[in-house]
Amino acid sequence: MDWQISEDTVPSSFVTDAQVRSLLGKPPASGAWREGDPIFERRFAPIGRFRFDRGDELPAVRVAYETWGELSPERDNAVLVLHALTGDGHVVGPAGPGQPTAGWWSGIVGPGKAIDTDRWFVVAPNMLGGCQGTTGPASLAPDGREWGPRFPYVTIRDQVRAQIAFSDAIGIDRWAAVIGGSMGGMHALEWGILAPDRVERLAVLAAPPRSSADQIALNSVQAQAVRIDPQFRGGEYYDAPDGEGPHLGLALARRMALLNYRSPSELNDRFERSWQSGISPLGGEGRFAVESYLDFHGNRFTRRFDANSYLRLVDSMNSHDVGRDRGGVARALAGITARTLVLGIDSDRLFPVPDQEVLARYIPSTLDGDEPAVITSAFGHDGFLIEDDAVGHHLGRLLAT
């Protein structure tokens, strides 16, 4: 199938010409960062042998991360920022060699911003099972082949235990704040429960206390879209003779996910029923502009992510339940001692505000008592990445305490 994209594929009012040109040519079999690629701004911290919740072990794990600001002599100004499902440790800065995307929170983190790097030492790791430098399915196993489908099932708790080991490796005994949105918010919750003595403040943005059946169902169809791609090859696609990877399945999964990340009103207002002529990258003449928008983002995703990693991280989200083996959600949340910001988005249809209401009800020390802070946004779940002023205001309240 031809993946060449002409500049009339995506309306110029929705993406730039440079973005369109960036998709010219066939995607790689995997969009993961690989050994030998430019390191760019990454640093690496080995955390040694790692045992997973299900009993599997890896002989050696390393965490890729980036930092901004300076650590104080007292080591009391460190802030841990945790990314969402398809993010990475590149929170601030431009794209570059070995880093296909610009920073995902540049409106929040930086000098004079809500997380002020003139005051705070900000650390952002790529999560365990990810594909931008931290050990994951695209990493090389001791036999010299990618772990691929052999990579163990990873839970949210596994990922946080890896982050705790990473904190030890870089010498941070206590975080002034742990901040995460979406899947990163799941991690933040687990930090507050697993290591309450190591967290002074906590920010949980647009995240639930556990993944619901509805949310698991949304994830399951995305995973199936990847697996049924003939080029997936059971996860053994890294050295395919034709160089092909599961581009179609991964792009389709991304398009499905994007519908959950944005609100119906945002898509309706932005695109209405506008029609776009021309030939799409998936074939067929003439289509609605919103279809080209979804195709563009799906196709771009295949150039920066790994299909096996996507499956493992979706499974991780499905595993999320702070009450598992802890006597239930209420009891687990009651163990959080950090001063906590719980933030929801009024148009979020992935993790809606009732999820944050549960968190605020049972976490003892929240900024707003028994209710979450709720921001108004047309952007749905992605509002925590887009609404810099509103999100920054509430993070500023937390960091001022």
Among the residues of 328-380, which ranges form H helices?
Answer: 329-333, 353-362
Measured over the CA atoms of residue 23, residue 26, residue 31 and residue 34, the dihedral's sign is negative
Class of domain 1-30+211-319: mainly alpha
| Rounded mean pLDDT, 344-357 | 97
Q: Can 239 be counted among the known catalytic residues? A: no
- C-alpha 321/C-alpha 121 separation (Å) is 30
Strands 285-288 and 339-345: unpaired
| pLDDT score, position 163 | 98
* Residue-averaged pLDDT of the chain: 90
| Rounded mean pLDDT, 12-23 | 43
For 206-224, write each residue's pLDDT tens digit.
999 999 999 999 999 999 9
Beta strands in 69-153 (DSSP E): 78-82, 109-110, 115-116, 121-125
Out of 30, 139, 167, 182, the active site residue is 182
pTM (two decimals): 0.91
How buried is 36 (Cβ within 10 angstroms: 0-12 exposed, 13-18 middle, 19+ buried)?
Answer: exposed
| Rounded mean pLDDT, 376-384 | 95
Q: Can 182 be counted among the known catalytic residues? A: yes
- C-alpha 26/C-alpha 66 separation (Å) is 29
For residue 322, give every residue at least 6 positions away whose Cβ sits within 8 Å of its Cβ, in sequence order, or none: 189, 190, 193, 209, 210, 329, 332, 333
Nearest to 154 by CA among 252, 51, 66: 51
- Kindly indicate the confidence band of residue 2, based on its pLDDT and cuts at 50, 70 and 90: very low
CA 82 to chain centroid = 8
- Please answer whether residues 10 and 292 qualify as being in contact, where contact means their C-beta atoms are separated by less than 8 angstroms: yes
Nearest to 169 by CA among 41, 72, 62, 67: 62
For 240-291, write each residue's pLDDT tens digit.
888 899 999 999 999 999 888 887 777 766 666 666 655 555 555 566 777 7
Out of 90, 187, 381, 394, the active site residue is 381
Classified as helix, coil or strand, 213 is: helix
Classified as helix, coil or strand, 242 is: coil
Beta strands in 94-215 (DSSP E): 109-110, 115-116, 121-125, 177-181, 201-205
Domain ranges of the chain: 1-30+211-319
Q: Can 381 be counted among the known catalytic residues? A: yes
Out of 88, 158, 306, 348, the active site residue is 348
Q: For 289, which DSSP code? A: H
Among the residues of 64-176, which ranges form H helices?
Answer: 156-169
Indicate whether 307 pLDDT > 80: yes
